[in-house]
Amino acid sequence: MLDIKIKGIEFENKNMYEAIVDSFHNIYLPALIKDIDISCLAFISFTDTLSKDIHDFQTFHGIAITGLTDDNHGVAWGKSIQYGDNYAIFIKIEALKVIINQNSTNEQKLFIINLIHHELCHIHDFQQNARIIESIKSRGNGHDLYTAINLWQEYIANRLSAYSLPHSTNYSLEAILDNYKSISGDIKQAIDTYRSNGDASNLYNEVHITFGQHFIFSCCYSFGFLDELVKDRGKISTLMAEYLGDIDISFIEPIHDELILLFNKYPNWQSKTELIGLSDAYYNSWEMIGINVIQGDNGFYIGLL
């Protein structure tokens, strides 16, 4: 049976602890995993020391230290990790506190349930794509397939977990708009800094984090929900145009198209080369913010347009 670990809550007695674990085994998990496979998931850990536990776990198992998003653009509440042939999920203890707190609203509880569902869907996808994920290093065939698979993973986890989302489609559209507004100034500053010092490495790192890992990743996150809830690519484009008004971020549409192409083949991908189109679309989107990136076998060539 899947192990549920809890650290950071003082229980009055063992019965209270067992009641929470039983509710996960008998209520929450059966509802969330009816269409996904989590057979290789060893445990879910709710912890009050999330970053430390993940770092210690990755160190103990000899896994690359990847850390958590924790900056002015967002804070991660959970992480799924592969170790050997097994998987583990770590989640902030605050998530569990929301679920068991009688004063939490229904929407707050549903938000946390969707967060857990999202991580479970990561496990399903890891199992489906284990062979391809294992074959991907930081680069392959002159393309950044590592970034492409990460974009895909956020998309598919949200698409598969969309039915537990407590929000409307407007929530996802608002997230795209807000995230774009939040990173626009940072991108301009990175470009201005490059003009003054000519440090291409710093420009790449800044834009890859701000524009790529925050904005584009958040778009893939939202696309997953939108595609499952709306199920009409044309209607989604119309909704986005109406919601965004004069703000033109049409440069993310090729990324959206590639994600849909990958989904239509999923899980029957032949090899990691399936991801080349998504990798190309990702770096082509950089041109729309004034940055030229050419992917080569020996690395990236970067500059301003």
How would you label 13-35 residue by residue, b for 16+ Cβ within 10 Å and e otherwise?
eeeeeeebeeebeeebbeebbee
Q: Tokens 């083949």 belong to which residue?
A: 265
Contact between 7 and 45 under an 8 Å Cβ cutoff? The reply is yes
187-237 pLDDT per residue, tens: 888 888 888 888 877 787 788 888 887 889 989 999 999 999 898 888 988
| CATH 1.20.59 correct for 145-304 | no
The overall pTM is greater than 0.75: yes
With H, G, I as helix, E, B as strand and everything else as coil, classify residue 75.
Answer: strand
142-165 pLDDT per residue, tens: 678 888 999 999 999 999 999 898
Q: Name the phi and psi angles at 211, rounded to 5.
A: -80, -45
DSSP letters, 76-93, are --EEEEEETTEEEEEEEH
How many C-beta atoms surround the C-beta of residue 66 within 10 A? 10
Q: Where are the domains of the chain?
A: 3-128, 145-304
Q: Mean pLDDT throughout 97-119?
A: 93
Contact between 85 and 134 under an 8 Å Cβ cutoff? The reply is no
For residue 267, cis peptide bond before it (omega within 30 degrees of 0): yes
Helix (H) or strand (E) holding 122: helix 106-128
Q: Looking at this protein, which amino acid is placed at residue 155?
A: Y
Write down the mean pLDDT value for the chain.
Answer: 87
Q: Mean pLDDT throughout 116-122?
A: 96
